[in-house]
Amino acid sequence: MDVVLVVLVVLVLVVVVVGAAVVVLVVVLEMNKLRSQWIQEAFLWTRDHRSIEHVRQQGMIMAFDVKASAISNPGSFSKAMFQQGLCEGVLIRPIGRTVYVMPPYILSADEVQQMSRAIERTLHAVLQKV
């Protein structure tokens, strides 16, 4: 009898824990959908920028390519974006001429806007130099 009671208690606890985990997962996924919209809205400037092409987004990851014709020294573009980004308060690690945006899940809408403006200022400054 005692074994059956212990098994039942364990099963109830498992159901409660799994149920709580599912609820947390649903909340995180719904917030990420909202954050994805914030990113899309904050980076609308990339769609009309004369030096940017191939803007794309998949969930919370957004990327764009800087046109080769806009970069006079391709070998220094990534490093220049990284260094200028630090001056603007953002960590940017482009691969070649592709700039990726992968913010943490804790960013607010205002922080996404700040990040976007900082990346825009960074790009403008770098394209003036490179």
Domain ranges of the chain: 2-129
Burial class (CB in 10 A: 0-12, 13-18, 19+), 24: exposed
How would residue 118 be classed by pLDDT, with cut points 50, 70 and 90?
Answer: very high
The answer to whether residue 130 scores a pLDDT higher than 70 is no
CATH superfamily of 2-129: Aspartate Aminotransferase, domain 1 (3.90.1150.10)
The answer to whether residue 112 scores a pLDDT higher than 90 is yes
CA–CA distance, 92 with 100 (Å, rounded to integer): 8
Amino acid at 63: A
Q: Which residues contact 40 (CB under 8 A, 6 or more apart)?
A: 57, 62
The answer to whether residue 57 scores a pLDDT higher than 80 is yes
The answer to whether residue 86 scores a pLDDT higher than 80 is yes
Query: What is the helix (H) or strand (E) element at residue 42, kind and residue range?
Result: helix 2-42
Q: What is the mean pLDDT of the chain?
A: 90
At 129, give phi and psi (nearest 5°): -95, -45
Assign 101 to helix, strand or coil. Answer: strand
Instruction: Please state the pTM of the whole predicted model.
Output: 0.81
Q: What is the pLDDT of residues 28-46, one digit of tens each?
A: 888 889 999 999 999 999 9
Q: Which of 11-15, 61-65, 96-100, 126-130 has the lowest mean pLDDT?
A: 11-15
